[in-house]
Structure 1
Amino acid sequence: MMPVNYFFKHPVAVKLREEGRAEGRIVERIASVLRTLDRRHIDVPDSVRQRVRNCTDPDLLQIWVDRAYDVTDAAELFDDDQV
């Protein structure tokens, strides 16, 4: 007898997996921003930490990940942002 795997191809299951992946990417980018600043020994005030953690835009988070390698102050992450 063949195993039944039709549930995994169901549109609801597919959508849930896609949403989970997107959420996982957001969580990882948030962690990357904060981890990079920490590894660079840059002080991260609570206001900056909260703004990063509250962001749900993966494109903006990627910009902040890239900026985290160059900034000298955590608030510089947000320079030129239209948020």
Structure 2
Amino acid sequence: MAVDTSFYKSFMSEEIRDEGRAQGRAQGRAQGRAEGLLLILEARGITLTDELRQKITTCTDPELLHRWLHRAATATTTEEVFAERH
């Protein structure tokens, strides 16, 4: 008995795989930026509360992490890094 594998070669299947790959790349970018942010803050001697550390490590938005990372390069306090700017 032959198994129908046509779905796995279909356009829809390709789209599902592509979407999964894109999500994986975004998660990888977010994780890398979170690790970089923690490293920079540690190197600059900026102490994090457990709450802020969790905020960083659970953030899944690569762009937000990028903004925090950019600010961390010159910040002297956690308030400067995480301030909400409008």
The TM tier, using the shorter chain, reads 0.7 to 0.9
Q: Deviations along 1:33-59, whole A, 9 cap, x unmatched?
A: 111101112211212111112222221
Aligned positions, number? 76
Q: 1:46 aligns with which of 46, 50, 75?
A: 50
Tell me how far apart the structure 2 counterparts of residues 80 and 19 of structure 1 sit (CA, whole Å).
26
CA contact (8 A) 1:48 1:75 kept: no
Identity %: 34
Task: Report the CA distance between 1:81 and its aligned residue.
Answer: 4.1
Whose radius of gyration is greater, 1 or 2? 2
Runs of 4 or more above 2 Å deviation: none
2:16 is equivalent to residue 12 of structure 1:
yes
2:62 is equivalent to residue 58 of structure 1:
yes
For normalisation by structure 2, the TM-score amounts to 0.73
Match of 2:74, SS? coil
CA RMSD between the two structures: 2.1
Q: Deviations along 1:52-78, whole A, 9 cap, x unmatched?
A: 122222211110000111111123211
Task: Report the CA distance between 1:80 and its aligned residue.
Answer: 2.8
Tell me how far apart the structure 1 counterparts of residues 54 and 66 of structure 2 sit (CA, whole Å).
16
Match of 1:10, SS? helix
Tell me how far apart the structure 2 counterparts of residues 12 and 75 of structure 1 sit (CA, whole Å).
40
Moved more, 25-34 or 39-48: 39-48
Letter matched to residue 18 of structure 1:
A
Q: Which residue of 1 aligns with 2:80?
A: 76
Q: Deviations along 1:6-39, whole A, 9 cap, x unmatched?
A: 69x8222211111110110111111111111011
